[in-house]
Structure 1
Amino acid sequence: MAENPSDRYNQGMATRRAVLGDAHVDRAEAAKTDFDAPFQDLITEAAWGHVWSRPQWSKRERSMVTIALLAALGQDEEVAMHVRATANTGATKDDLVEAMLHVAIYAGVPAANHAIKIIKKTYQEMGAAVREEGR
């Protein structure tokens, strides 16, 4: 945690937890070292406290745009993380189909094709986890 957290940091942490879930954020915080603590504080305050906390777009809309951008950039782990977060943001499979069509046209078919594989695998893993919890 930041030494003297700002209001924006506190808002960012609340938003980060709402989107990614407490378990994910707790793991990230536990893994934080002196080396990456400044980076973690930056993304909590700037990405989560400023951008993700703005009221102009819903979390669903931000989720779709984020996944499309990450897919276009080839950020596989981040795509999977944000697909898992759709359970909290309300972005649907149909939303991601549309996002990947945009990626295909504006960033290239190979980028979309690769991201679709990651999205499908992540949804399969999420379904397996839900089935395990439902026992």
Structure 2
Amino acid sequence: MTTDERHAQGMAVRRSVLGDDHVDRAEAKKTDFDVDFQRFIVESAWGSVWSGSGLTKRERSMVTLTLLAAGGHHDEFAMHVRAMRRTGATIEDLQELLMHVAVYAGVPAANTCFGIAKRVLAEGEGPQWREELTS
């Protein structure tokens, strides 16, 4: 796959996970200073990792959220909670992964991210309860 093909694939996956509005805003904010970094993100994170065949989008979403919570990357965590609506992950999934964060990365990390998730959910964004998905 060429670099341009990986970039195109990455943009398609990024849009499917984060939504067109988010990606359009991010693209509009690019400058000469960060254009290479933005291309790197699209090609590596979205064009390679998120485009792999070994995990579903739901599973990738859960792994990503867990790592972001454990690493204290709160803005990215909130963004990926919002993205859960597009990945098939549910509120129950979020509760479970944050319990794992509490055990393996610490209660303070999980506590902070529970708060962030509650804020995102209160804004009407983010995942749905499992029963909402089936009705």
Q: TM-score, normalised by structure 2?
A: 0.89
% identical equivalent positions: 60
Partner of 2:92: 94
Compute the displacement of 1:126 (Å): 2.1
Deviation at residue 5 of structure 1 after TM alignment: 5.5
Indicate which of 61, 67, 70 corresponds to 1:69: 67
Root-mean-square deviation (CA, aligned residues, Å) is 1.2
1:130 aligned partner: none
Q: Please give the residue correspondences for 1:11-26 in structure 2 after superposition, counting only pairs within 5 Å.
A: 11-26=9-24
Runs of at least 5 residues in structure 1 that lack an aligned partner in the other structure:
128-135
Moved more, 118-127 or 22-31: 118-127
TM-score normalised by structure 1 residue count:
0.89
Q: CA deviation at 1:55?
A: 1.2
Residue of structure 1 equivalent to 2:129: none
Amino acid at match of 2:77: V
Amino acid at match of 1:101: M
Alpha-carbon separation, structure 1, partners of 2:67 and 2:117: 14
Q: Which amino acid aligns with 1:6?
A: D
| Matches of 1:91 and 1:123, distance apart in 2 | 13
- For the residues of structure 1 that align with 2:41 and 2:124, how far apart are their CA atoms? 25
Question: How many corresponding residue pairs?
Answer: 124
